[in-house]
A and B are shown apart, each in its own frame.
Chain A
Amino acid sequence: DAKTTQPPSMDCAEGRAANLPCNHSTISGNEYVYWYRQIHSQGPQYIIHGLKNNETNEMASLIITEDRKSSTLILPHATLRDTAVYYCIVRVANTGNQFYFGTGTSLTVIP
């Protein structure tokens, strides 16, 4: 199964863009990259996902490198409510649709 590597923690000033990196060098061609976040002990919240192309929605943008070995989640204008643990996940193909969560990045948005 494809593994992901994320920095354990990051800080970001409120109102600035938060750029969260993720390495997934062993990703297979048909595996998607997903981003979820978990605020305190709440259920993980879906943010965005993509296969090859960059994606944008109302919450964030996802930039995937051309070789697909890494990606960056961008929160364009971070707020205090964006403080959370952010998980980058690569879906394991052909074994159902379950997610394998790593340790994630703990993002702290500073006033």
Chain B
Amino acid sequence: GAGVSQSPSNKVTEKGKDVELRCDPISGHTALYWYRQSLGQGLEFLIYFQGNSAPDKSGLPSDRFSAERTGGSVSTLTIQRTQQEDSAVYLCASSPSFNEQYFGPGTRLTVT
């Protein structure tokens, strides 16, 4: 079946502009995660959605970052006033249960 999809696959933006990254999770998965992966680094947790519960935003690095999940499905990660240090691969994962996560291919963001 279809896996987690993310769009765009690559995004180049100028410093100070806003960007929106999209994640389409696997149908029926109630949990959705966003991570950031910088070059040579591990996965940095950003935000977690579970069903209709309030999201866990504890990993968001600043108030320039926000995320929504509409109808318990598609999620959008928004970065306002992008900075060069925001350049990274942004990964989305969905999960049907408490354990295994299924990752999308990521969006590579480059801020010039």
A joins B in a complex: no
Binding site for B on A (CB under 8 A): none
Q: What residues make up the interface of B, taking CB atoms closer than 8 Å to A?
A: none
